[in-house]
Structure 1
Amino acid sequence: MKHLAVSHPTGVELNLQRQTNGSEPWHSWYRYPKLGVALVYYDYHNPVLGRSYAATTYINKSFLRTPRHEVNFRIGTGLAYFSNPFNLETNHKNTIVSSRLNATMQMRLEYDVAVAEHLGLLVGLGLNHYSNGATTKPNFGINLPTVFVGFNYHQQRPFVPTTVPADDTPADLGHNFLNLSTSLGFKQRSPIDRQKYLVHSVSVLGGRRVGRKSNLLVGLEGFYDRSLIQEQRDTARNADTLPDVKKAGVLVGHELLFGRLAVVTHLGFYIYNPYKSNKFYYERIGLKYHVTDRLFGAVDLKVHRGSADVIEWKVGVKL
């Protein structure tokens, strides 16, 4: 990738954020974070990479807050559009972005100091990541370490909570539950094979709410990746004795709770894996949202040793 790391990208970002006020119990659990949306533009100063345009949603948590100073950590996710993705005929050198539409993740540490009643000077360090989750290949993705400077307009400073809950203990604290879910995803094997293959999974997870912010999980799941069938046919000498491509695994996991929203992290180990196309373990990170107390949806990224395997679109029920 040295032929692509020949410039210093520059960008502009516009943010709109809203201060949580205690109207939901989880606001006080995280010391009243800000919720926001950002529009992010980057020029890579490289004709192979072109430009990117992204929209993200994020949460911004304060670690230090005084009438004049704030130190915040922010994390967000969204979608990005790239102007010049990989094309086998016209842009074959762009081996890190193969589709116009990509997922993005943003992390940053920022310092805000008041320079006027409503105006703050903003400086900090950040990291922007772009990837399509192996939906299209090649997909090495882009990581952009950034130094930024800007200004914040504060409608209210210093912040004073308007609502302080009397009892914010969750009703289901210490309770067990069962999650049943299924997911679909699509992936491409290689830049040559342009077909999208279906990946399917089913999960049975038991969990327990162990704190205001946390659920712990353990369970079983099964996978059926149809791209592995074609991979076998391309390499096998005898098509009559191909091993089973279905897989089963056990996992442990954690959910970081923000009301109906949760940030999901899993670590799994394959216990049935006849066709060893990958390592014996896998990781997952995602976002889960409860539409009702029973029904939920999720978007997860399944990873093998730091390399994206598939984006899973999941639906399930909590019992």
Structure 2
Amino acid sequence: MVGAYAQGSIIMAHTYAIRHLVASHPTGFEVNLQQQTTGAAPWHGWYKFPKIGLALTYYDFHNPALGYAFSASPYISKSISRNAKHDLSFRLGAGLAFLTNPYNQETNHKNTIASSALNATLQFRFEYDYALTPHLGLLVGAGLNHYSNGATTKPNFGVNLPSVVLGLNYHQQRPAPRTNANAPLPAEIGHTFFNVSTSVGFKQRTEGDKQKYLVNSLTVAVGRRMNRKSNLLLGLEGFNDRSLKATLNDTTRAGLAQPDVKKAGIFVGHELLFGRLVFDSHLGFYLYAPYKSSTPYYERLGLKYHFTNLLFGAVDLKIHRGAADVIEFKIGARL
């Protein structure tokens, strides 16, 4: 399937620091390439044959301080109600975005949304596709687009764009043929496994300090396959954020002892499984944190991909009370 959609949006004033930017109404255009799963992999049937695709999106913020945005977002779309004439679905995607006019202290100090050209993008949307002909569909939708660099550079308040969508889809075949609707249960259900991983990330402390500080972690977790779609995890991890040491050096009086900036925590996690691709979410609590630089708990959202049965890679966003802390690039092994 190929689709082309127009988008109209507003900028949400989710923090006072971006209120001066919410006057414009961004508009955009999206080209969409999508494939209907047919049962070639067992997970297709387990999720009632979702669609997978790639969205290429252009946005004009209609504000010279913000400029334009270009993004590419792989996504998965799950039907809520579907028959030969219509398809109501929910779509979730994540990818990379390029913003043409990021923050610059001398030339563009008004753009407090993003201080780097390269950003992450998240997208979710409800879509309704109505068949005008056997091949042509009218699509209407409503959702949210989000752009942020995950505090790699600051300021980074990010932007949330609630959007309405209108466009057309060309379906090569509607509905697509399906096989293997009752795929057998995976043999791993009820089995326990172990994960060992390490990550690196970089973050900026303040707008005035341009240095990128290394943040890394080490994680050990035990997991269990609960059903066709889910793993549950329990783990321990340690963190070393060099930006905290730099902050202490700036704020501690000469001669006074400094607390340890290293942290250790325990977390519970869930993994939603799509074959080799995994969407993970964690909630953690610090057990060891002598330097109280954040909330006593943290969250993590991310995507993991198993290259082999042993080796995996992941990109995670670590969060404190809804605010991005760092983007983590992770490599690990499943034992």
The answer to whether the aligner puts 1:292 opposite 2:291 as a matched pair is no
Structure 2 match to 1:48: 65
Moved more, 193-202 or 230-239: 230-239
Once residues 77 and 123 of structure 1 are traced to their aligned partners in structure 2, the CA distance between those partners, rounded to angstroms, is: 21
The answer to whether the aligner puts 1:250 opposite 2:270 as a matched pair is no
| Cα drift, residue 167 of structure 1 | 4.1
Q: TM-score, normalised by structure 2?
A: 0.94
Question: Is the 1:215–1:256 contact (alpha carbons within 8 Å) kept by the matching residues of 2?
Answer: yes
Structure 2 match to 1:105: 122
Question: Is the 1:11–1:43 contact (alpha carbons within 8 Å) kept by the matching residues of 2?
Answer: yes
| Cα drift, residue 238 of structure 1 | 3.3
Could you tell me which of 74, 77, 87 is aligned with 1:70?
Answer: 87
Once residues 200 and 20 of structure 1 are traced to their aligned partners in structure 2, the CA distance between those partners, rounded to angstroms, is: 37
Matches within 5 A, 1:270-285: 270-285=286-301
Aligned residues: 318
Cα 1:114–1:266, aligned 2, differ >3 Å: closer, same or farther? Answer: same
Percentage of matched positions with identical amino acids: 64
Structure 2 match to 1:126: 143
Once residues 276 and 238 of structure 1 are traced to their aligned partners in structure 2, the CA distance between those partners, rounded to angstroms, is: 20
Supply the AA of the counterpart residue of 1:65: R
Structure 2 match to 1:82: 99
The answer to whether the aligner puts 1:180 opposite 2:170 as a matched pair is no
Supply the AA of the counterpart residue of 2:108: N
Supply the AA of the counterpart residue of 2:270: H
Matches within 5 A, 1:148-187: 148-161=165-178, 163-164=179-180, 167-187=183-203
Which structure carries more relative contact order (alpha carbon 8 Å, separation 6+)?
2
Once residues 34 and 184 of structure 2 are traced to their aligned partners in structure 1, the CA distance between those partners, rounded to angstroms, is: 24
Supply the AA of the counterpart residue of 2:54: V
Structure 2 match to 1:265: 281
Could you tell me which of 130, 135, 140 is aligned with 2:157?
Answer: 140
Cα offsets for 1:214-256 (capped at 9, x unmatched): 0000010000000000101111113540000000000000000
Question: Is the 2:120–2:149 contact (alpha carbons within 8 Å) kept by the matching residues of 1?
Answer: yes
CA RMSD across the alignment: 0.9
Structure 2 match to 1:310: 326
Once residues 293 and 242 of structure 1 are traced to their aligned partners in structure 2, the CA distance between those partners, rounded to angstroms, is: 44
Supply the AA of the counterpart residue of 2:91: R
Supply the AA of the counterpart residue of 1:134: A
Question: Is the 2:306–2:313 contact (alpha carbons within 8 Å) kept by the matching residues of 1?
Answer: yes
Structure 1 match to 2:6: none
Cα offsets for 1:52-109 (capped at 9, x unmatched): 0001100011111100010010000110001100000000110111100000000000
Structure 1 match to 2:250: 234
Supply the AA of the counterpart residue of 1:208: R
Question: Is the 2:45–2:183 contact (alpha carbons within 8 Å) kept by the matching residues of 1?
Answer: no
User: Alignment partner of 2:19: what SS?
Assistant: coil
Structure 2 match to 1:214: 230
Question: Is the 2:201–2:328 contact (alpha carbons within 8 Å) kept by the matching residues of 1?
Answer: yes
User: Alignment partner of 2:21: what SS?
Assistant: coil
| Cα drift, residue 157 of structure 1 | 1.1
Structure 1: gaps of 5 or more residues: none
Moved more, 7-16 or 236-245: 236-245
Question: Is the 1:108–1:127 contact (alpha carbons within 8 Å) kept by the matching residues of 2?
Answer: yes
User: Alignment partner of 1:253: what SS?
Assistant: strand
Once residues 239 and 299 of structure 1 are traced to their aligned partners in structure 2, the CA distance between those partners, rounded to angstroms, is: 40
Question: Is the 2:46–2:228 contact (alpha carbons within 8 Å) kept by the matching residues of 1?
Answer: yes
| Cα drift, residue 159 of structure 1 | 2.9
Question: Is the 1:233–1:239 contact (alpha carbons within 8 Å) kept by the matching residues of 2?
Answer: no
Supply the AA of the counterpart residue of 1:311: I
Supply the AA of the counterpart residue of 1:181: S
| Cα drift, residue 115 of structure 1 | 0.8
| Cα drift, residue 158 of structure 1 | 2.3
User: Alignment partner of 1:241: what SS?
Assistant: coil
Once residues 234 and 72 of structure 2 are traced to their aligned partners in structure 1, the CA distance between those partners, rounded to angstroms, is: 34
Q: TM-score, normalised by structure 1?
A: 0.98
User: Alignment partner of 1:58: what SS?
Assistant: strand
